[in-house]
Amino acid sequence: MKRYAMVIDLRRCVGCQTCTAACKSANATPPGVQWRRVLDLESGEFPDVRRSFVPVACMHCANPPCEEVCPTTATKKRADGLVTIDYDICIGCANCIMACPYDARSIVHEPRYAYGSQPIASEAARADDQRIGVATKCTFCKDRIDLAERTGQVPGRDHEVTPACVNSCISGAMHFGDVLDPESNVARLLADNESFRMHEELGTAPSVHYLLDQR
Amino acid sequence: MADNAGTKRVPSYCYNCVAGPDFMKVKVENGVATEIEPNFDAEQVHPARGRVCVKAYGLVQKTYNPNRVRTPMKRTNPKKGRHEDPGFVPISWDEALDLVADKLAAARAKGLIDESGLPRLAVSLGHGGTPSNYMGTFPAFLAAWGSVDYSFGSGQGVKCVHSEHLYGEFWHRAFTVAADTPHCRYNIAVGANVDVTGGPCAVIRHADARVRGYKRVQVEPHLSTTGACSAEWVPIRPKTDPAFLFALIHVLIREHGLTKLDVPFLRDRTASPYLVGPDGLYLRDPVSGKPLVWDEATAHAVPHDTPGAVPAVAGSFRVTEAVAVDADKERRVYRDVAGATAYEMLARHIEKYTPEWAEGVCDVKASTIRRIANEYLEAASIGATITIDGQVLPLRPVAVTLGKSVNNGWGAYECCWARTVLAALVGALENPGGLLGTTVRLNKTRDNRHLSVAPGEDGFMVQYFNPTSKEEWQTTPATRNLHQTLVPIVGNNGAWSQALGPTQLAWMFQGERPDDWSLPMPTLPDVWLVYRSNPSISFWDTRHLADIAAKFPFMACFAYTIDETNYMADVLLPEATDLESEQMIRVGGTKYMEQFWDYKGVALRQKAVEPQGEARDFTWIATQLAKRCGLLDKYVSAINKGVAGVAPLKGDGYDFSLAGEPSPERIWDAVCRVATLTLSEGREEHGIDWYREHGFYTVPISRLEWYLTPTLVRQGLRYELPYQERLLRAGRELGRRMHERNMNWWDKQLAEYQALPEWHDVPARWIRNLEKSGAKAADFPFWLLTTKSMQYHAGGNAAIAMMGEIAQNVRGHTGVIINAETAANLGIADGDRIEVRSHIGATYGRATLAQGVRPDTLVIIGQFDHWATPYAKDLGMPSLNTIAPMSLDLTDATGSGADIVCVAVRRVEAVAA
C-alpha cells in the first residue's frame, strides 16, 4: 500500500519557475497550459509587506471534487493516491475544471504551438492528438511512477522515477515520495516540520503539503 | 513523457549567465532535442546538485525557433538605420567568409592600428564573458589577429556590477564578491538579488542557509525576489545606500568601539595602524620609505613590517621624523609631526555619519539601522574559529553583499568601500563565513586568484594600475573607451582590463566630445564583429546607440535571429547554438558569483543534435576565418598555447600540439586529453569520445582555496584598508595629467579619489543632469529602476516563447511595477497601459500594482523594448534602457553608471508615436 505525496518547503522556494518550465518540457504541454506553476503572492501594505512564492498544481486529493463531477468516470483516483484522467473517455465537458478549487486543470480545443500555426521539431516529435478537447493536469509524472512499479525503484529517491518538477527544483524545496512509508523523505519532513495543505477546510485532503518551519 | 527506442540523453552544460556553468542533459528523441533535464551524474560534485536554472529549459525552443538565421546572409540595402530594411539575402558560407575575410585583410593591410592609434578591428561580446563558452576557438583567432578593441560594450560598466569588479579586485582579488553562504549566519544584502542572479549554486546555498536559520536583511527600494525570501525588507530611498552603510560603520566604531572589533585582524591584516600625516598621506620612514606604525612595545614610530613591533590600531602619536610621498613622487619631510592611525582617521571621519543623520538621507529609521549594525556585530562572533582541512581559521559568519546599481555608478565607490571596511572591522574579510572574492579578471591567473597575490608596495598586494606619471600616462588612448588613460585602477594586466573600461564613453564620444577634448579624435573601427551581444537593447539611450551602430563602416554579426544590433550588419553568420556545437570549458574551483566548489574540472558541451539549416560550429568558422586571413599558423599556435581554453596543448610529459588546419574534432580531442592529464596530474587521459559519454571530469579541491586571508598571512601582507592613500595619489596624478593638457571634462570624476569617502548627494546627480538638459525636476518626480529576472537574465532569450509564457507568473513581467497607492493617486489601475517618460524619451507597458515598492519608485524588469527581434518585438514590454541617458555627468571615476533615471508616469489609451 502506497500513497504518493509531494512536500514543498516554502522556506526554500524562490519562485524561479524552473519547475514550471521543467514540467512543460517533460510533459510537452502547449503554450498557455501549465500543469504547475509558482504563485507570486503579496500581503500587507507598504512598508510592511510579505511576498511569497507558492508552487501549485493538481493536489491529487484523496477526496477529489473533480472526480465527483466527472460524468464519464474519466477522472479517477488510484490506490496510490494519483488522480488520473482517461483521455479515451473524457468528453471535455469542463465540469472538473469548474469543480477544482485549485485551478489545476486545463483544456485546449485545438493544437497550439510556440511559434505560429506550425509545430517546431520538438513539438512535432511529441504531438499527441489525445490531449485535444480533453481535460489535462499534473499527473505526478504518472509514467515514472508506473515505471517504478515495474523496476522496483523508489519515486522521490531514484531520479528516473521522480516527477520532473521535483527533479528540477534548484532550491531543494520540492520532495516526493510515499507518505505511508515512515522512512520516506516526505514522511520524515512532515514529521519534523509544521505543514499545511491548501484549502484543507474544503475536505479535499490534498496530497501536496507545504512546509512552514521546524517543529 | 515516456522514453522510446530512439531516445538518448546527452550530457552538456549551460553557461548562459555568469552564475554558471551548470550541468544538464539533453533528451534527444530520434535526432530531435525534446527536453532539458538535470545531470544527476554531477550531483555529488556540483554545489547545485546537477541542476540548471529555468533559462536552460528554453534551449530546446531556442534550437528550433523558426525565426533563426539559418543561412549566411548579406545586406543588400547600403543604407543603415532603424527604418531601413537591411534587405538581407541568403548567401553561401564561401561568399560570407570571403566578404568578412576580405574586409579583415584590407584592414590588416593598412596596419592593426589606425591614424588615431586605435585598433581597426573591434569586437563586442555579450554578457559577462559567457560568449567565450560558446565561441569555440574564436579567442584563438582574436589572439592571432593582435590588437582588438573591446570598447563598444553591450552592457559592461552600465549593466554589470562594475565598481565592485574594480574595487573588489583591488582590495581582495574579488572581481565578484559573495557571502561565504555555506557558513554565513547574517547577510545584509543591499540590492543584491542573489536568488535571481546567483544561479542554482546560490539558490540552493541560500535556501539551505534559511533552513539552517541564517538571517538575511534585504535593503532595496522594491521588494525583489531575493527580498521576498529574506527575513526582513528595508525599503531604502534609491541611491542612498552609502549613507546606510556609513551609519553601520558609525555604530560599530563610535558606539561599540575598537575593543568590540577584531583588533588582531585590523592590526595585522589591514593598514589600520599606518600613520597618516597632516596632509592626508602616510607618514613614512625617511630611509626605507615604508609607512610607519606606532609600536606600542617601544613607544616609537617604526616601519610597518618591523619584526616584533606591536602596532597601535587607534590613536594619534608624535613622530620625530618622517616623509610623505605625494603625487608624482613629491616628497615632503616632516619633523615632530602628529600622525593619526588610519583607523583613527576612519573613526574621526565616520563620527558625523550617525544613524540619525542617515535616516534623513535614506528614509530608514535610525533605530532600524542601529539594530541591524548591532545584529551584524553580534553575529560576527569575533573570536570564534573553525577548522578546515586541519587548519584553524577565524569564523566570522557575516557579510554585506551589494547589488547592481548599488555597486556601479556614482555612490558605488562609497558602497564598495564601506562594505569591505565592515568586513574588515569584524575580521570577516576573506575568512570563513564572511565576505569572499570568487574570481579575478583584472589580474592573472584567472583560474586561481591566490596566484595573483604577491608582495607589492607598502606591505600590500601587488597592483597593476595604469600609469599616471608624467612619463608614462597614455596620451594616445589605445582603446575607444580610454581605459588606460582614464581609469588607473582597471589596470592592464588581466584578461578583462580593457573591456572593463568606461564603455559608454566609446559610444558617447562617437557623437559629441567635450569642448576641451585634446586627445586624438576617436574613430570608428574598420571592422566590427559582434557575438551574443545586442547593445542596441542592452545599453542606454538605445535608440541613439542604434543610430551610432548604423554608422560603422563594416559589421559582421554571428547571428541567432535578426536583432536590433545586427539589423545594421553587412554580413550575418549563423553559428551552431548551445545544443548544436562542441566546446570544453573549466568548471568548479572558484569563479563567478557563488560558484566556489569542492571540486574543479572540465565539462564538454557537445553536439546533441545536428545544427539547424546552414548553422556551423563556431570552431569551424574561426578556423576558416583564420585561414582566409592568412593567420592559420598564428591561430593554431594560439590554440597550442591554450587560448581556446583549459591548458596549453604541450606541457610536462605530454604534447598534443596541433599543426596545419586541424578539424574541430581534432582540436577538442586534444583539449580533452590535456584537460584530463593536467587535472589528474598525469594519471588519466581521456579523449573527446570519453567526454561525450561522461560529460565532465573533476578532481577535489580544498575549501581553503575559498579564502584569501591565509594566503596574505603566509606572505605577510595587509589588505589596503581602510585608508585609500594609493587611490588619492592616483587621482591627484591623473588630474594633473588632464589639466596639463587643458582638459577639465573629467574633474567631477577626479573628485571621487578620496582616501576616506564622504557622502555626497548621489541622487541629486540625476536631478541635476535632467535640469542641465533644460527639463524641470518637478516634472519627473519618480525614480525608475530596473531589476533582473532569472527567466531572462543574461540569457539573450527574449525570443523564446516558453520563457515569455512562464515569466508572466513572476510579478512585473507584464510591464511596470508601481506602488498601489501611487497608482491610485494617478488614476492608474492594474493592467492599465502607462507611459513612463524621462527627459530623453518614453517607454510603454502595463502597470503592475504592488505594495512591495516605494511610493516614489517604479521598476521595470529586464531589458526589452525590442523592435527587430522576432517574437520579442511583439511582447510590448517597456525598458529602462530606452529612456536612461548616457552622460558624462552620470559616469563615475571607474567609468561606471547606474540603472536609474527620473521619470514621469501617466496612463495612456494608446501608444504615442
B853 touches chain A (CB under 8 A): yes
Q: Residue B912 pLDDT > 90, yes or no?
A: no
Rounded mean pLDDT, B608-627: 98
Instruction: Choose among B718, B268, B733: nearest CA to B462.
Output: B718
Per-residue model confidence as pLDDT tens digits over B179-205:
999 999 999 999 999 999 999 999 999
Q: Which B residues in the span 232-261 are in contact with A, Cβ-Cβ below 8 Å? A: 233, 235
Alpha carbon separation from A157 to A194, B477, B511, B777 (Å, rounded): 22, 60, 61, 60
Q: What is the 3-state secondary structure (H, E, C) of B369-418?
A: HHHHHHHHHHHCCCCCEEEECCEEEECCCEEEEECCCCCCCCCHHHHHHH
| Rounded Cα distance, B862 and B816, in Å | 11
pLDDT interval class at A215 (50, 70, 90): confident
B798 touches chain A (CB under 8 A): no
Query: How crowded is residue B158: how many other Cβ atoms within 10 Å of its Cβ?
Result: 30
Residues of A in contact with B820 (CB under 8 A): 46
Rounded mean pLDDT, B51-74: 98
A117 touches chain B (CB under 8 A): no
Task: Please name the member of A115, A143, A172 whose beta carbon is closest to the beta carbon of B207.
Answer: A172
Query: How crowded is residue B514: how many other Cβ atoms within 10 Å of its Cβ?
Result: 14
Between chains, do A14 and B203 touch, taking CB under 8 Å as contact?
yes
Please name every residue paired with B905 in a beta bridge, in sequence order, or none if there are none: B836
Residues of B in contact with A27 (CB under 8 A): 1
Task: Please name the member of A14, A21, A39 whose beta carbon is closest to the beta carbon of B225.
Answer: A14
Residue of A nearest to B27 (CA): A26
Cβ(B678)–Cβ(B698) below 8 Å: no
Per-residue model confidence as pLDDT tens digits over B817-859:
999 999 999 999 999 999 999 999 999 999 999 999 999 999 9
How is residue B159 written as a grid cell? Answer: 549593466
Homologous superfamily (CATH) of B162-443+710-733 is: Dimethylsulfoxide Reductase, domain 2 (3.40.228.10)
Residues of A in contact with B801 (CB under 8 A): 31, 114-115
Torsional class of B876: left (φ above 0), alpha (ψ -120 to 50), beta (otherwise): left
pLDDT interval class at B910 (50, 70, 90): low
Residues in chain A, how many? 215
Residues of A in contact with B228 (CB under 8 A): 14-15, 50-53
CA trace torsion B11, B17, B18, B23 (10° rounding): -20
| Rounded Cα distance, A112 and A132, in Å | 10
Q: What is the pLDDT of residue B4?
A: 79
Q: Residue B630 pLDDT > 90, yes or no?
A: yes
The amino acid occupying position B373 is A
- B199, HSE (Cβ side, Cα atoms, 13 Å): 28
Residues of chain B above pLDDT 70, percent: 99
Cβ(B353)–Cβ(B243) below 8 Å: yes
| Rounded Cα distance, B529 and B534, in Å | 12
Chain A nearest C-alpha distance from B306 (Å): 50
Q: Residue B40 pLDDT > 50, yes or no?
A: yes
Q: Which B residues in the span 49-68 are in contact with A, Cβ-Cβ below 8 Å? A: 49, 51-54, 57-58, 60-61, 63-67
Rounded mean pLDDT, B142-153: 95
B231 touches chain A (CB under 8 A): no
Could you tell me how many CB contacts below 8 A there are between chain A and chain B? 176
Q: Phi/psi of residue B471, each to 5°?
A: -75, -35
Domain boundaries, chain B: 162-443+710-733, 762-907
Task: Please name the member of B66, B204, B850 whose beta carbon is closest to the beta carbon of A172.
Answer: B204
Q: Which B residues in the span 856-875 are in contact with A, Cβ-Cβ below 8 Å? A: 871
Chain B nearest C-alpha distance from A31 (Å): 7
| Rounded Cα distance, B311 and B299, in Å | 10
- Per DSSP, helices labelled H in B741-879 are 747-750, 762-772, 801-807, 820-825
| Rounded Cα distance, B878 and B910, in Å | 14
Chain A nearest C-alpha distance from B192 (Å): 14
**Do B762-907 and B162-443+710-733 have the same topology in CATH?**
no
Q: Residue B913 pLDDT > 50, yes or no?
A: no
pLDDT interval class at A214 (50, 70, 90): confident
Cβ(B310)–Cβ(B367) below 8 Å: no
| Rounded Cα distance, B398 and A5, in Å | 38
Q: What is the pLDDT of residue A88?
A: 97
| Rounded Cα distance, B69 and B563, in Å | 10
Q: Residue B573 pLDDT > 80, yes or no?
A: yes
Task: Please name the member of A26, A39, A53 whose beta carbon is closest to the beta carbon of B35.
Answer: A26
Residues in chain B, how many? 913
Question: Omega before B781 cis (within 30°)?
Answer: no
The amino acid occupying position A193 is N
Name the average pLDDT for chain A.
97
Residues of chain B above pLDDT 90, percent: 94
Say which residues have a Cβ less than 8 Å from residue B83's Cβ, sequence separation at least 6: none
| Rounded Cα distance, B277 and B295, in Å | 16
Q: Phi/psi of residue B442, each to 5°?
A: -105, 5
A168 touches chain B (CB under 8 A): yes
Query: How crowded is residue A162: how many other Cβ atoms within 10 Å of its Cβ?
Result: 25
Domain annotation for chain A: domains and CATH numbers: 4-214 (3.30.70.20)
Task: Please name the member of B36, B66, B235 whose beta carbon is closest to the beta carbon of A47.
Answer: B235
The helix/strand/coil state of B303 is: strand
Between chains, do A17 and B210 touch, taking CB under 8 Å as contact?
no
Please name every residue paired with B558 in a beta bridge, in sequence order, or none if there are none: B531, B573
A169 touches chain B (CB under 8 A): yes
Per-residue model confidence as pLDDT tens digits over A78-112:
999 999 999 999 999 999 999 999 999 999 999 99
Q: What is the pLDDT of residue B645?
A: 82
Helix, strand, coil share of chain B (percent; to 5): 35, 20, 45
Task: Please name the member of A46, A120, A122 whose beta carbon is closest to the beta carbon of B851.
Answer: A46
CATH architecture of B762-907: Beta Barrel (2.40)
A130 touches chain B (CB under 8 A): no
Chain A nearest C-alpha distance from B619 (Å): 26
Q: Residue A117 pLDDT > 70, yes or no?
A: yes
Burial class (CB in 10 A: 0-12, 13-18, 19+), A127: middle
Q: Which B residues in the span 610-669 are in contact with A, Cβ-Cβ below 8 Å? A: none
Chain B nearest C-alpha distance from A138 (Å): 12
Rounded mean pLDDT, B644-652: 92
B222 touches chain A (CB under 8 A): no
Chain B nearest C-alpha distance from A202 (Å): 26
The helix/strand/coil state of B230 is: coil
Per-residue model confidence as pLDDT tens digits over B402-453:
999 999 999 999 999 999 999 999 999 999 999 999 999 999 887 899 999 9
Chain A nearest C-alpha distance from B692 (Å): 21
| Rounded Cα distance, A10 and B210, in Å | 11
pLDDT interval class at B783 (50, 70, 90): very high
Q: Which B residues in the span 142-201 are in contact with A, Cβ-Cβ below 8 Å? A: 195-196, 200
Cβ(B164)–Cβ(B401) below 8 Å: no
- B617, HSE (Cβ side, Cα atoms, 13 Å): 20
Name the average pLDDT for chain B.
96
How is residue B300 written as a grid cell? Answer: 616609537
Between chains, do A143 and B2 touch, taking CB under 8 Å as contact?
yes
Chain B nearest C-alpha distance from A180 (Å): 25
A17 touches chain B (CB under 8 A): yes
Per-residue model confidence as pLDDT tens digits over B521-532:
999 999 999 999
Between chains, do A16 and B57 touch, taking CB under 8 Å as contact?
no
A61 touches chain B (CB under 8 A): no
Between chains, do A28 and B850 touch, taking CB under 8 Å as contact?
no
Residues of B in contact with A37 (CB under 8 A): 806, 809
| Rounded Cα distance, B516 and A212, in Å | 63
Residue of B nearest to A12 (CA): B207
A118 touches chain B (CB under 8 A): yes
B48 touches chain A (CB under 8 A): yes
A31 touches chain B (CB under 8 A): yes
Question: Omega before B385 cis (within 30°)?
Answer: no
Cβ(B470)–Cβ(B738) below 8 Å: no
Instruction: Choose among B662, B636, B647: nearest CA to B584.
Output: B647
Between chains, do A122 and B32 touch, taking CB under 8 Å as contact?
yes
Between chains, do A120 and B61 touch, taking CB under 8 Å as contact?
yes
Cβ(B473)–Cβ(B485) below 8 Å: yes
Torsional class of B329: left (φ above 0), alpha (ψ -120 to 50), beta (otherwise): left
Query: How crowded is residue A128: how many other Cβ atoms within 10 Å of its Cβ?
Result: 13
Between chains, do B852 and A120 touch, taking CB under 8 Å as contact?
no
Residues of A in contact with B233 (CB under 8 A): 47, 49
